[in-house]
Amino acid sequence: TRETKGRVWSLLEAPAEDVLALLRGDMAGFDGRAVLADDMGMIGETIDFLSRTWGSFLGGGEDLLLSAKSDLRLQDIDDIQYYMKLMELVGQIRGFRCNASSRLFEQFRIIQAKLKIGQRISELRHKLSDASLHQMPEFHQRIAVLQTFGYVTAPHQLVAMKGRVGAELQSCDELLATEMIFRGLLSSLRPEEAIALMSALVFQGKEGPGDDEDLGDLPVALQDKIQDLRDLALELGEAQKLCGMELPPEDYVRGALSMGLVWVTYEWALGKEFKEICEGTEVMEGTIVRTIIRLEECCREFKDAARVMGNPSLLKLMEEASFMIKRDVIFAASLYVV
């Protein structure tokens, strides 16, 4: 963009599809090479000529428009109709009040940018609608599950207290963990028992054939809560099935729970040496370390949930449980865990 004789101008190469209209004009004295060579005199004359011609056209000079037949010698009927339609639209431009505005081109650029943004928004909405068509059934099924257990209210789907608590829990199955809290599965347990029960939420390994036998060495109160947690997971799986979700309840239980490190976590929380614990299980040492670290993160999320609920008892329980597992080699500063 440059300025000559107080007028701002730009020299652009316009493709044919950007040409709005063809007007008559005597350009015998026009020297295109001089314009390209930055001859300020010729550029000024050209600007004056174009401004006068465009002004005359806007003032009602329909005779300035080139004829489709006699001037352009169009023969194809479709081309003639397209050209006449274009000229009709061009003729409407003369009625726009913005033609007299000194900010015409600035406003034009703003409108042009707005239209491009609107077009882009429409394209993105179309793409999103195509994608959402495939996901919409599952979305409604999940909403139905959340409404069933009181996470959102019907019919406006407002987030309830359970939903706010569930949003704090991200290191494990949010639905199961939230129900675990609200149904009080942790409330009657000691810290070492609570953290052992929570390990079933974060351990990502498979249960071995001897895991149930290992659970027999745990306190009776903890064994009862383990069964309660399994029953709860099955209940949630069946509810999801009733709401239309395809995952079988048993598969949901297997995916959300794994008791393979309950005994290990319980012994670790009681202060048993890491070496002794590793000798009593077939789970790899690295897996144990990663699980305990994830479990400590889960404790932090449960503490955040307790604050949202206003539950000081749960907050204190999680603080004590976190303190019991956060020790020795597992949380050593020099230990590198992938």
Each residue of 212-245: pLDDT tens digit? 656 778 999 999 999 999 999 999 999 999 999 9
Distance separating alpha carbons of residues 129 and 152, to the nearest angstrom: 24
Confidence grade of residue 102 (pLDDT, cut at 50, 70, 90): confident
Confidence grade of residue 301 (pLDDT, cut at 50, 70, 90): very high
Q: For position 179, what pLDDT does the model report?
A: 97
pTM for the predicted model, two decimal places: 0.60
Tokens read off for 174: 């949010």
Tally of CA atoms within 13 A in the half-sphere of 37 that contains its CB: 7
The highest-confidence range among 36-40, 111-115, 331-335, by mean pLDDT, is 111-115
Segments making up each domain of the chain, as ranges:
2-100, 158-331
Confidence grade of residue 210 (pLDDT, cut at 50, 70, 90): very low
The highest-confidence range among 70-79, 283-292, 308-317, by mean pLDDT, is 308-317
Beta strand pairing call for 7-9 and 2-4: antiparallel
- CATH architecture for residues 158-331: Orthogonal Bundle (1.10)
